[in-house]
Amino acid sequence: MRKKFYTRFLLRSADDGFADEYSGVVEVSAPANQVLDPIEIETLLAKNFERDADDVELLNWSRVH
C-alpha cells in the first residue's frame, strides 16, 4: 500500500558546512501499519538522491491523510 508523507530534510553538499533544504510530499510503498524510524527515512531519501544516508538530515516527517 502506498502512503503519503510530508517531509522536510537537509541534503548536505560535498562542501563542508553547506546543505540544501527540501520539503514536499513523499510517497512510500509500505504496509499500512508499518512505522518507519528516522534512520530508515534518511536512508530512503538518500537512495533517491543517490547519496549516502549520512548526507541526509531529517527535519520533519508526518503522514498526509
pLDDT for residue 57: 92
Q: pLDDT by residue (tens digit) across 19-62? A: 889 999 988 887 767 778 889 889 999 999 899 999 999 999 99
Structural domains of the chain in order of their starting residue, each with its CATH number: 2-63 (3.10.20)
pLDDT for residue 56: 93
pLDDT for residue 46: 92
Spell out the SS3 assignment of the chain: CEEEEEEEEEEECCCCCCEEEEEEEEEEECCCCCCCCHHHHHHHHHHHCCCCHHHEEEEEEEECC
pLDDT for residue 23: 93
pLDDT for residue 13: 79
